[in-house]
Amino acid sequence: MMRPFKPQLVYFEPNALDYPLGETLYDRFKEMGLDIRYTTSHNQIRNLPGENDFQKYRVAKSTLVVGIRKTLKFDTSKPSAEYAIPFATGCMGHCHYCYLQTTMGSKPYIRTYVNVDEILDAADKYMEERSPEITRFEASCTSDIVGIDHLTHSLKRAIEHFGKSEHGKLRFVTKFHHVDHLLDAEHNGKTRFRFSVNADYVIKNFEPGTSPLAKRIEAAGKVARAGYPLGFIVAPIYLHEGWQDGYYHMFERLHDELPEDAKKDITFEFIQHRFTKPAKKVIQKNYPMTKLELDEEKRRYKWGKYGIGKYIYQKDEQEEIQKSLYAYMEKFFPNAKLEYFT
């Protein structure tokens, strides 16, 4: 049984305590008996406990920095949403292939922003600009927001905010099952709640520190029964011994758990495993014992943006993956919408 995230260390940035959420978090962490420290800025955090980079990396990943989001200009988040909405950065999970390893470098601690009202105000402005068109916001571009929301409830506020909005929609994806506090949120169908799922083997071997598949599926059932539109990202689709059985079984279990009603409005996103040369380097540094197959020779090179190409599966392997997963999806979820395969 995987417990909800509890930070090992907490830092407060200046003025974070001026916001109600900052105060609430402070009281909460004090009561929990956590090690609370202050810093002038997250950039100034040095001397984290640990004897080497390997240990420091692990401490940093369970360190929470409470601060204020200064830039209220949102990044774009095409194609699945218009904007990325920033409530947090970083994640306590240890997925070997996590993209945050390359984007966050040597500062992988988790940051949460207490000026939630200002962030939501900014979102309102973006919606006004595009009105009457719908504006979609993605909340999990830089973190697994559900994984820390039992502490902050920022996501819950956002769900209710967009629930009331006329032209706004929210979406996010998670590998955690700690969703209970979100079940009674007044979402009004405006939030698409997505789970990242995979074959058991892949989760067990490459996603330490996240919820097991059975728990994610159980949580998806709860979310569906709470009336949220649901989605699943199957990623990364990874070839391993018995992969077809693994993925078949995953679809079958999802099918058995979800109520009939929910199956009418479900989206799938399929992403095959890929890596870049820089990513391979960080993975091998942070997870030196990983069994993840990262052999350029076995893959096909695909040119990418900014000159950084990625290594994807060979054409015949890719076709095999596509054929199998489409068949499973059609068998168990004939009314689902496949958003993309990449």
Minimum CB separation from ligand SF4 for residue 327, in Å?
27
Which of 72, 271 has the CB closer to ligand SF4? 271
Does 178 engage in binding with ligand SF4 (CB under 6 A)?
A: no
Minimum CB separation from ligand SF4 for residue 279, in Å?
12
Give the strand order in the sheet containing 168-174.
83-84, 135-138, 168-174, 191-197, 230-237, 266-272, 337-341
Does 98 engage in binding with ligand SF4 (CB under 6 A)?
A: yes
Given candidates 13, 138, 144, 149, which one binds ligand SF4 under the rule CB under 6 A?
A: 144
Using CA atoms, how far apart are residues 327 and 142, in angstroms rounded to an integer?
32
Minimum CB separation from ligand SF4 for residue 182, in Å?
17
Using CA atoms, how far apart are residues 266 and 289, in angstroms rounded to an integer?
37
Return all residues near 124 (Cβ < 8 A) that are at least 6 apart: 165, 168
With H, G, I as helix, E, B as strand and everything else as coil, classify residue 86: coil
Minimum CB separation from ligand SF4 for residue 106, in Å?
16
Does 138 engage in binding with ligand SF4 (CB under 6 A)?
A: no
Return all residues near 157 (Cβ < 8 A) that are at least 6 apart: 116, 120
Return all residues near 105 (Cβ < 8 A) that are at least 6 apart: none
Q: For the segment 34-73, give every residue that binds ligand SF4 (CB under 6 A).
A: none
Minimum CB separation from ligand SF4 for residue 147, in Å?
7
Using CA atoms, how far apart are residues 305 and 125, in angstroms rounded to an integer?
30
Interface region with ligand SF4, contact rule CB under 6 A, candidates 89-97, 108-116, 264-272, 314-322: 89-97
Does 286 engage in binding with ligand SF4 (CB under 6 A)?
A: no
Does 141 engage in binding with ligand SF4 (CB under 6 A)?
A: no
Which of 165, 198 has the CB closer to ligand SF4? 198
Q: For the segment 287-306, give every residue that binds ligand SF4 (CB under 6 A).
A: none
- In sequence order, what DSSP letters do the residues of 300-324 get, joined into one string? EEE--GGG--EEE--HHHHHHHHHH
Does 233 engage in binding with ligand SF4 (CB under 6 A)?
A: no
Query: Of 156, 137, 138, which is closest to residue 146 (Cα–Cα)?
Result: 156
Residues making contact with ligand SF4 (CB under 6 A): 91, 93, 95, 98, 100, 144, 175, 210
